[in-house]
A and B are shown apart, each in its own frame.
Chain A
Amino acid sequence: MLDAYSGVGVLLVALVAFLATYFTIPLLASWFKRRHVLGIDVHKLDKPMIPEMCGLSIIAGLAVASALSSELFVGKWREIIAFLGTVLVAGSVGAIDDLKPLGSKVKPVLTGLAAAPILLLGIYDPHPVLPLIGTVRLTIIYPLLIPFAVAVPANAVNMLDVFNGSMSATLAILSTALALVLGLSGDPTTSSLALALAGSLIAFYLFNRYPARVFGGDTGSLAAGAAVGAIAIIGRIEAITIVALAPYIMNAFYGLASIGRLYERREIKSRPIKLRSDGTLEATAEKNAPVTLARLILAEGPLSEPQVVHVMMMLTALSSALAVLTYLLPGGL
């Protein structure tokens, strides 16, 4: 459990991340609007054009928060540099993808490279803690799995960034739960980074929620997803993070299992959902379309876009609660 000084420090870092993101978004939005870096909001009848790549504000928030965290929690600069390096590399891959779309196989490989700062600085412990078991030894395999530990959440988060506020709202819930677990385990540095991610995402959600005024693009979703992977490794909460990521993993797996290979949204000919004339969303009955989480939610009937996001938030809240319970299991941490 954190002491009072560390607890206040963690909250301060999160507040700074929130403010940095909140005040960066309008600047980025107007800048990208002037340069016509725009994306179509496909789930609206009038198909408005929205400024893209504003996920850079999340990276800005995390950068400022990391600087403050290194000042408050002295002696942890290597962990913080590894975290920020991972976020920056994944964000750069996202920015490239936003400007010049990458292939469905190239993007996961490049996001795996975002794990390089963690590997180079040696910020990992090859003895992960598993629930009901305790510490296990994976000295040889663990470093080989680290690129996957970054690439999988990064791309899974990217795949759920399909509706206004879906990525920011769900990931804010998830990262708050991770911050809570890390706080309970007495790790103020990683807890501050997790809560900083939540702070940045809450600020971003205020602009990205329905009807969206900004889009994060792959820049934001890959950076935020890679941040979750980095937090899991640095904070030694790998299994707990996997439990919390259940809705993301479900969404990614359903898509991959339906299509049978890695794919990009733009490659899919049979759409999983369609927009109805009344503005609500409906699951299609096409056999070849991927069974995504959104399609599962809409299987029982049409819903509005905010209602779908609301269900996604409820499911993430459930998986995050289960993650906290997993920590409390014998051998949790």
Chain B
Amino acid sequence: MRLFGLAGLVIFVCLSVIFGTFLITRLVMLVFPSSTAWFRIITDVVRVLLAVALAYGWLRVWKRITDWYFWRSVSASARGRDGP
């Protein structure tokens, strides 16, 4: 059973990588449709900044889910050992 919970975390991480990059790229393309030299530089910078912002938000969610899973599992395990 412990494998299912951990597999769920791995799948969440993988899917968030795939859809996170999709979201960033689509978002940036909408903001700067031009292809002139200056816009290319700005697009690259904005793309990275958006990527960092999205990654930060994603990591916060990821950390919360992990902490919740870990402490719930530790508590359940301790209750199991203390039980009759």
Contacts and interface: CB of A to CB of B under 8 A. Distances in A.
B3 A239 contact: no
Interface in B41-75: 41, 44-45, 47-48, 59, 62-63, 66-67, 69-70, 73-74
A140 B11 CA distance: 32
Contacts of A133: 21-22, 25-26
B22 A299 contact: no
Interface in A279-328: 283, 285, 291, 295-297, 299-301, 311, 314-315, 318-319, 322-323, 326
A285 B74 CA distance: 7
A32 interface: no
Interface stretch (A159-167, A178-186, A243-251): A243-251
A130 interface: yes
B70 A295 contact: yes
Nearest to B9: A250
A329 interface: yes
A254 interface: yes
Interface in B1-50: 1-3, 5-7, 9-11, 13-14, 17-19, 21-22, 25-26, 40-41, 44-45, 47-48
Contacts of A300: 1-2, 5, 73, 76-77
Contacts of B67: 291
Nearest to A145: B48
B77 A299 contact: yes
A12 interface: no
Nearest to A132: B22
A247 B6 CA distance: 10
A4 interface: no
B80 interface: yes
Nearest to B81: A301
Q: Which bracket fits the contact residues of B?
A: 35 or more
Nearest to A138: B44
Contacts of A291: 66-67, 70
B10 A250 contact: yes
Contacts of B77: 283, 299-301
B11 A139 contact: no
Interface string A136-176: 11111100000000000000000000000000000000000
B40 A131 contact: no
A257 interface: yes
Given A141-B44, A301-B77, A311-B2, A132 B70 contact: no
Contact of B40 (A137, A257, A322): A137
Contact of A299 (B7, B13, B74): B74
Contacts of A141: 44-45, 47-48
Contact of A249 (B13, B25, B40, B78): B13
Contacts of B41: 140
Nearest to A323: B14
A242 interface: yes
A239 B69 CA distance: 27
B6 to A, nearest CB: 6
Given A132-B19, A283-B70, A300-B2, 4 more contacts: A133-B22, A296-B66, A299-B2, A329-B18
Interface of A: 130-133, 136-141, 239, 242-243, 246-247, 249-250, 253-254, 257, 283, 285, 291, 295-297, 299-301, 311, 314-315, 318-319, 322-323, 326, 329
11 contacts: A133-B21, A141-B47, A250-B13, A250-B66, A253-B59, A295-B70, A299-B70, A315-B3, A318-B10, A322-B14, A323-B14
